[in-house]
Each structure stands twice: as structure tokens, then as C-alpha cells.
Amino acid sequence: MDWNKKVVLVTGGTGSFGKKFIEILLAEHTPAKLIVFSRDELKQHEMRVAGFTGPNLRYFIGDVRDRDRLRRAMHGVDIVIHSAALKQVPACEYNPMEAIKTNILGSSNVIEAALDAGVEKVMALSTDKAVNPVNLYGATKLAAEKLFVQSNAYAAGTTTRFSCVRYGNVVGSRGSVIPIFIKQRLNGKLTITDERMTRFWLTLEQGVRFVIRCTEQMLGGEVFVPKLPSTRIVDLARVIAPQAELDVIGIRAGEKLHEVLINDDEARSTIELEDMFVVQPSSALWFGYAWQDKGVPLPDGYRYASETNPQWLTVDQIREYVAPFEADGVSDF
């Protein structure tokens, strides 16, 4: 697939992912049109002021909860990247219906509008929290995954195809612990919930490039999972502020000690490639199995989890991840 001359729409286009995606796509390709779809006029204005301008860039005010507005925005669109979501776990727990309206019903609206507009490819962003979810955010993203995978059945006889990308924590994204730790070290005390906690990590650029690559390769019905390194939260804290006191405050509601990107039930329908996994739909026999002979099936009982991951970030690699977020370029380590 060639991004050049394509019309691309990004929901949540003013978010961390959306901005980086637009930056990379414009730098390396020449889409006929790139549409930023979001509900916040201030953030759109700030993007323009920051230099996100050009003859092929468009800004649409709209909410994924509004199906009619999505239909209008998708007129003539070839590719949709769906990154709009409510993703802060505490906010979703406290405002459950709002999370459902955006993450589930909003995803349904994206699907319906894409089908009506004849969009070629729709790629949705998911999260490790969708696997065996223990919080509402993860539950809504699991439901969204199911919607996107199964909607390929609705697209029978048309060219529209739906797939998902699922990955772990994005370094420095909104709500990330790294900026919080950098601020807390000024007081000499970092708060962590549990010293045993582990997470999958990737940079925003790595996430964007993975989404671009998977969109190029998608056939419909897959969930793409990158192979990622893990890190212990306590190691991250000690790299950012080696002299600071660690205040263990206890695990929060809706939080896991470890995250899982592929559970043992999904593993039965998952294919392993050199640098990623492709989860095929387990409940559909009429689509989504084109990857069957392109990789290696996973063994029975396989589980891709952050605490048993064979790949771990070294201290030097953690420093590389943290360095861009150091305030004023000053480093304590």
C-alpha cells in the first residue's frame, strides 16, 4: 500500500498519538489529504500554531459520538486511523457511561460511518489493558476490539476492512508516569504503587511506525501485537531519581501488577513473526486467516506477559527512554 495520494482521517488527531502520526506521515509521504478529527478547537488551534499546516491538512471539529459528523468527515476518505478514546483509568472508573459512549459507541459509529463511506482500511488502536481487563477502560477497549474484528463480516462484498493494533505503555504520553516522576524528584520522594509492578514499554514514534506498517499489511480481522521490552516500575524510578525516597502507596483500583498482551486462550489462534504477533479471530471461520502460513503458531499455554517477557530494558536503555522528557535538559543520572 502506498500512502501517497491517499485521503487519511485520524480520529483523536490532536492527541499524543495523533500529532506524532501526522508529523511522521507528512514528513515521509504525500497524502492527498490528511484530516485531523477531534472535538477540541483549542488543541486544533495549538497544532496550527505549532506548525501543523499545509495544503493537504484539514481540521474537522467533531466527536466520535456523533455518527452523522463522522459520515460527513469520511466522505472520500481511503484510510481511517481510530485513536480517539477516553483512556485515563481513574476518569473512566468515575465516569463509566462516558467511557462507554466514547470507547464503545464511538467505535461503533466509526465502523458504521466507514462502511457507509466506502473507506478502504480502518485501523483501531487498542491496549494491553484490553486483555483480561480489570478496569472499565480495559473492558471498553476489549469491546471495541471485538467490534472492529467482527465488523469485517458486515463488510462482506465491499472493500472496507477493519483491524486493530494492541500495544503497551507509551513513554511520555498523557498520564504517563515518567513526567510525574521527573516532577516528584524535585521533592526527593517518588510515589509508586507496588515495587513488583512491571509494564511493557515503547516510544510514541515506535507506536506510530508500527501502526503505519500494520495498516499497510492489514487484510482485515487481525489484531497486531508488537514484541516489546518490559521494565520494572521501581527500576524506572531509580533511574529518574536514584537518590529519592520511594513511597509505596499501594495498588490503585483498576490497576494490575503486570500487563498481558496475549493471553493463553488467544495464543491458540495467534501467529508469531520475527518482531510481532498476529492474533487471528478465533470465532470467525470466513475471514482473518490469511496470516496462517506466514509465521509460526504459538505453543499451547503461551502467555505474553510483562513479568515473564524475555526482553527487558537495561538501565542504559531506560535512560534513553527518559532523556527526551528531562526538564530543561538537566539530568540527575
What are the C-alpha distances in Å from 236 to residues 90, 179, 208, 227, 316?
Answer: 22, 12, 23, 20, 11
- Long-range interactions of 323-331: CB distance < 8 A, separation 24+: 324/172, 325/171, 325/172, 325/178, 325/179, 325/182, 326/182, 327/182
**Residue 43 a catalytic site member:** no
Nearest CA to 5 among 70, 74, 81, 78? 78
* Catalytic residue chosen out of the listed positions 6, 20, 87, 129: 129
Residues facing 230 on adjacent strands:
200, 312
Which stretches does DSSP call E strand in the chain?
Answer: 7-11, 33-38, 57-61, 79-82, 121-127, 161-167, 169-170, 189-192, 198-202, 223-226, 230-232, 245-248, 260-262, 270-272, 276-279, 296-297, 304-305
Complete DSSP assignment for 12-47? TTTSHHHHHHHHHHHHH---SEEEEEES-HHHHHHH
Which stretches does DSSP call E strand in 168-244?
Answer: 169-170, 189-192, 198-202, 223-226, 230-232
Helix 204-217 / helix 16-28 crossing angle, nearest 10 deg: 60
Active site residues: 129
